[in-house]
């Protein structure tokens, strides 16, 4: 009962701080590239160059064939764009409390919003690349459809997943500093284990369930269903239940750990 009440109070704190969160997220995005000539433009230039490099290597170098009759670049982008948001926001949110330790030690501040600020900062960039996706599909002759609306559902799903994970990692990294490096390593491994550049069709059917246990498989396939295959998320009810089961568990564990460890943050920092 106490845990339920503390969870409600945490959500209330976040809602009450929503204007502050948005303003701090904007400030975080600007500060990250402060001092460079192109400033905030680097936030959009670097991921674009990264996508183009992967496209050149796989499309031009390896001469990858179209996937399900779709140009490889169009098949690749709905996978790599959400991953860029996920990895950037999780790494930023993991270190958010460490990077703002003065807020924890010196003033009364809702520390729980620090991971959200980093996630929202990455979200601004991700929204630009969602628009970029629409433009690319339009250039290739694919018009928008009603299925594209569910990109907001998958965006909410991904935000929920990274929020739960970040509350866990950002609270634990204060006591175990190596966790930041471990998260970075796990993200690199997860990048190649998630079918972003490859399709599950290359695997024997008996191994498909292992890939589908990865919650980000649901997001990648969801973005492709939204832009390419035109399927609704409820058509894959098993994957949906699996994803929200994992995400719900991460959120509950994140709230529990954050509330449990929060009183000790200032002492350790």
The model's pLDDT over 180-193, given as tens digits with 9 standing for 90+, comes to 899 999 999 998 88
In the predicted structure, residue 111 carries a pLDDT above the cut 60: yes
Cα–Cα distance measured from residue 214 to residue 25, given in angstroms and rounded to the nearest whole number: 29
Residues 6+ apart with CB under 8 A from 237: none
Cα–Cα distance measured from residue 204 to residue 211, given in angstroms and rounded to the nearest whole number: 11
Tell me which of 114 and 166 has the higher pLDDT: 166
pLDDT for the residue 50: 79
Q: What's the whole-number mean pLDDT along residues 204-218?
A: 87
In the predicted structure, residue 4 carries a pLDDT above the cut 60: no
Cα–Cα distance measured from residue 124 to residue 130, given in angstroms and rounded to the nearest whole number: 10
Tell me which of 146 and 6 has the higher pLDDT: 146
Cα–Cα distance measured from residue 211 to residue 203, given in angstroms and rounded to the nearest whole number: 10
pLDDT for the residue 198: 82
In the predicted structure, residue 235 carries a pLDDT above the cut 70: yes
In the predicted structure, residue 9 carries a pLDDT above the cut 70: no
In the predicted structure, residue 144 carries a pLDDT above the cut 70: yes
Strand partners of residue 70: 67
User: Over the stretch 67-110, which tens digit does the pLDDT of each residue have?
Assistant: 778 888 888 889 999 999 999 999 989 988 888 777 776 666 67
Binned at pLDDT 50, 70 and 90, residue 163 comes out as very high
Distances (CA, A) of 133 to 51, 84, 248: 12, 14, 29
In the predicted structure, residue 243 carries a pLDDT above the cut 60: yes
pLDDT for the residue 53: 81
Tell me which of 138 and 263 has the higher pLDDT: 138
Distances (CA, A) of 64 to 55, 60, 198, 256: 9, 7, 10, 46
Q: What's the whole-number mean pLDDT along residues 213-232?
A: 92
CA-nearest of 170, 171, 162, 163 to 190 is: 162
Q: What's the whole-number mean pLDDT along residues 108-133?
A: 86
Taking the model in full, what pTM does it have? 0.86
């Amino acid at each position: 009962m106490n845990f339920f009440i503390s969870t409600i109070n945490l959500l209330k704190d976040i809602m009450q701080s929503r204007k502050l969160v948005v303003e701090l997220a904007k400030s975080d995005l600007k500060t990250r590239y402060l001092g460079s000539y192109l400033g905030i433009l680097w936030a959009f230039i670097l991921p674009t160059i990264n996508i183009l490099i992967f496209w050149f290597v796989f499309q031009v170098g390896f001469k990858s064939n179209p996937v399900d009759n779709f140009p490889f670049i169009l098949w690749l982008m709905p996978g790599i764009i959400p991953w860029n948001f996920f990895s950037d926001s999780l790494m930023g949110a993991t270190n958010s409390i460490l990077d703002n330790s003065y807020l924890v030690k010196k003033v009364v501040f809702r520390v729980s919003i620090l991971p959200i600020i980093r996630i929202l900062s990455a979200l601004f960039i991700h929204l630009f690349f969602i628009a970029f996706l629409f433009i690319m599909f339009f250039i290739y002759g694919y018009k928008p459809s009603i299925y594209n609306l569910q990109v907001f559902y998958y965006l909410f799903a991904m935000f929920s997943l990274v929020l739960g994970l970040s509350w866990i990692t950002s609270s634990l990294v204060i006591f175990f500093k190596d966790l930041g490096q471990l998260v970075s390593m796990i993200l690199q491994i997860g990048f190649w284990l998630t079918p972003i550049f490859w399709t599950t069709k290359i695997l024997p059917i008996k191994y498909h369930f292992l890939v589908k246990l990865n919650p980000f498989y649901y997001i990648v396939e969801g973005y492709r269903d939204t832009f390419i295959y035109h399927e609704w998320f409820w058509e894959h009810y098993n994957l949906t239940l699996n994803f929200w089961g994992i995400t719900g568990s991460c959120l509950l564990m994140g709230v529990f750990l954050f509330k449990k460890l929060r009183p000790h943050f200032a002492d350790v920092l």
